[in-house]
Amino acid sequence: MRKPSIPELIYQKTFPKPKQGDPVSFYAHVQRYIVGEVRVEVQNFYGALDTLEAQYPGLDYCFPPHRRRLSRYPWHRRLFRVFDELGLTEDEILNLCQWEGTRAAKERYEREAGVQVRTTTADEVVAASPGNAPVATFEDWSRPAAVGSTSLSNHTSIGTLGKEADKCGDVEDPPSPPEDDIDLLRAAIQSRIRGGSMSLNHAREQWLKEILDRRDEIDVDEIMAAIFNFGARDHPPEMTRSQTEAAR
């Protein structure tokens, strides 16, 4: 069985169920519809056909700008869709598209006439000057930062956090008592252990209350154990233990 040629495949895709008035082959379809749309596009683009460039525009069916221009016409739009569905290569498309107005027709004329048809489409387009527009500078995150700048940034961040923590501590944390207050607190607890009635003033009681309220942050048990151990050195173990449990 003979493998169908590319023109036959395109015709079958374009006319899956040919009607009575449809072209009988791909080349008949080109002459009836494709060439007519090429002439309309050349007339709209160049105007009068009084130059070689207008007579041989060299439309390239693989060149995206030319395809966009020709896709405005229904039969060319369908033709490009069939090209994509069949997955044709550039060589296959260039070998197929050799009718009037195509790149192949222009190259054939240049070989036969020995002249070069120059394209003047972009001759009057002036390149935009750089001007004095704003310039944006973006940091390249793909490269690691310098060691010195990283260390400086880390020290700055740590210093800032430390200052913020100090500020927060100054506002929220209760003031620490002086050393004599701690000694007085220890003496009061020892007095309670011995059965005495030594009491603390209001300021020291308030400080102890704040410390006890902040048990989640300060290990009060460890502090109290150290104080009781200090007092236990002057009393029998059984007496200190019982009175300590009673005090707690």
Q: Which residue is listed with tokens 């519809």?
A: 33
Q: What does the pLDDT read at residue 106?
A: 92
Least confident of 29-33, 92-96, 107-111, 198-202: 198-202
pLDDT at 52: 87
CA-based Rg of the chain, rounded to a whole angstrom?
48
* Average pLDDT rounded to a whole number, residues 85-95: 92
Q: Is the pLDDT of residue 247 over 90?
A: no
Quick check: 242 pLDDT over 90?
no
Neighbours of 96 (CB within 10 A): 20
* Tokens coding 8: 């036959």
Position 83 pLDDT exceeds 90: yes
Q: Which residues of 139-151 are buried (b: 16+ CB within 10 A; e: fewer)?
A: eeeeeeeeeeeee
pLDDT at site 237:
46
CB-CB contact of 99 with 42 (8 Å)? no
Query: What is the pLDDT, as a whole number, of residue 182?
Result: 62
Residues forming beta bridges with residue 102, ordered by sequence position: 59
Read off the pLDDT of residues 45-63 as tens digits, 9 standing for 90 and up. 888 788 888 899 999 999 9
Name 43's Cβ contacts closer than 8 Å, sequence gap at least 6.
Answer: 49
Is pTM, for the whole model, over 0.75? Answer: no
Is residue 223 within 8 Å of residue 193, measured between CB atoms? no
